[in-house]
């Protein structure tokens, strides 16, 4: 099987995962506050919605712990099948939830449970293909191969944004809140099934089982990995924090601010988001070239500085009309693409060979939890209490964490 076929499988898999999460994220702003929290004002409902949003990131490391045991006992194919059906099933089940008006607090508890199910399942979707791509990359093209899996994020956002934009524009507000919002959650399940077969076609072949074994991409005990690799895990979790903090600051948070506090229509902003994500695709691709030319560590350090500067003025652009929103989104996605495009390479670097597979998965979980899990909630709370400029503090903290982690990561510095 050619590297191009592996790359396609990786991109399809990642796109399906991010599509599930972006469908939920968009609904967290446009649907859930009105449907599940009608007893409070729109702002408070959105804050509660974002609190439930964060549950998936808390559940994800526990999912990795359980699914690594399944991987060791029954194999990678079994693990992926269970995880992706659980992810797609949890997402699709949200489409059947009753509203608060119909079921009271039970509807909120069910939403929280299914969100935990999404996060738990995502912990089992780690297939090692991204690491395999990086390990088989030529010395001078490691950055290029590292960026391929990251394309799934902007692709997933583009599809989710356009689908919601179409539903919002095509339906009345009443029909959208009644049944229209549910359609993207059904689509998520179908995409997961396609992604599952695309990935199983690769990972269950004897050829790839041999590659996984020879490259030491085998699951081992999470506890032993933490015990022996705790320093690498901590550094690896903080190194990509700038990009992970920016991730939801240019995807979920701006949609909430625009929807709550401006006259911009959801359809218009979702289209702006899709176009900005297309710029993000270009930036992710460019990150591969730049990392190979100048070094991953230099690129990530420069991006962290850029994100720190961006945090000082950019949030206010969301209150500057359509032009300000476009500038915020495009510049934010370019910075995100350049940084996020190489974040997987940072997560995987530095592990002993026997702990590479498990360590990379667990470190990625922690990075998402620390950097992205609470970003929409924190940014919205800071903005409504201290002004939009205060939301930049969250970004700034992520940028500083990345710079400190890169300075400490002597292994990465030695390689680049």
Q: pLDDT (tens digit, 9 = 90+) per residue, 223-280?
A: 888 888 888 888 888 888 888 889 988 999 999 999 999 988 999 999 999 999 999 9
Tens digit of each residue's pLDDT (9 = 90 or more) over 59-106: 999 999 999 999 889 888 899 899 989 999 999 999 999 999 999 999
What is the mean pLDDT of the segment spanning 9-38? Answer: 92
Q: Confirm if 409 and 243 have CB atoms less than 8 A apart.
A: no
What is the mean pLDDT of the segment spanning 114-132? Answer: 85
Tens digit of each residue's pLDDT (9 = 90 or more) over 185-235: 999 888 888 888 888 877 776 766 766 666 566 788 888 888 888 888 888
């Amino acid at each position: 099987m050619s590297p191009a076929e592996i790359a396609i499988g990786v991109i399809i898999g990642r796109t399906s995962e991010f599509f599930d999460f972006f469908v939920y994220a968009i609904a967290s702003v446009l649907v859930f506050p009105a449907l599940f929290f009608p007893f409070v004002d729109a702002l408070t409902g959105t804050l509660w919605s974002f609190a439930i949003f964060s549950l998936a990131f808390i559940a994800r490391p526990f999912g990795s712990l359980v699914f690594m045991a399944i991987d060791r006992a029954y194999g990678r194919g079994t693990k992926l099948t269970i995880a992706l059906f659980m992810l797609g099933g949890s997402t699709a089940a949200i489409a059947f939830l009753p509203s608060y008006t119909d079921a009271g607090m039970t509807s909120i508890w069910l939403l929280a449970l299914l969100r935990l199910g999404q996060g738990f399942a995502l912990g089992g979707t780690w297939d090692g293909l991204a690491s395999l791509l990086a390990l088989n990359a030529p010395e001078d093209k490691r950055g290029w191969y590292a960026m391929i899996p990251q394309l799934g994020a902007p692709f997933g956002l583009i599809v989710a944004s356009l689908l919601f934009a179409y539903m919002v524009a095509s339906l009345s507000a009443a029909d959208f809140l009644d049944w229209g919002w549910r359609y993207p959650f059904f689509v998520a399940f179908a995409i997961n099934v396609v992604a599952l077969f695309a990935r199983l076609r690769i990972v269950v072949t004897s050829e790839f089982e041999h590659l996984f074994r020879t490259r030491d991409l085998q699951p081992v005990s999470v506890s032993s990995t933490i015990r022996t690799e705790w320093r690498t895990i901590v550094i690896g979790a903080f190194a990509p924090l700038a990009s992970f903090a920016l991730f939801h600051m240019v995807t979920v948070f701006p949609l909430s601010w625009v929807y709550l506090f401006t006259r911009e229509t959801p359809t218009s902003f979702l289209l702006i988001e899709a176009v900005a994500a297309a710029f993000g695709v270009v930036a992710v691709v460019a990150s591969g070239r730049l990392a190979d030319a100048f070094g991953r560590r230099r690129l990530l350090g420069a991006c962290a500085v850029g994100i720190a500067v961006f945090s000082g003025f950019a949030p206010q652009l969301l209150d500057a009309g359509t032009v300000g929103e476009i500038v915020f989104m495009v510049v934010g996605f370019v910075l995100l693409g350049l940084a996020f495009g190489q974040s997987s390479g940072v997560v995987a670097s530095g592990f002993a060979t026997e702990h590479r597979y498990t360590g990379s998965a667990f470190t990625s979980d922690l990075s998402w939890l620390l950097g992205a899990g609470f970003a929409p909630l924190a940014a919205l709370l800071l903005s409504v209490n201290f002004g939009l400029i205060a939301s930049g503090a969250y970004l700034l903290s992520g940028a500083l964490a990345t710079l400190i982690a890169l300075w400490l990561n002597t292994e990465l510095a030695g390689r680049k």
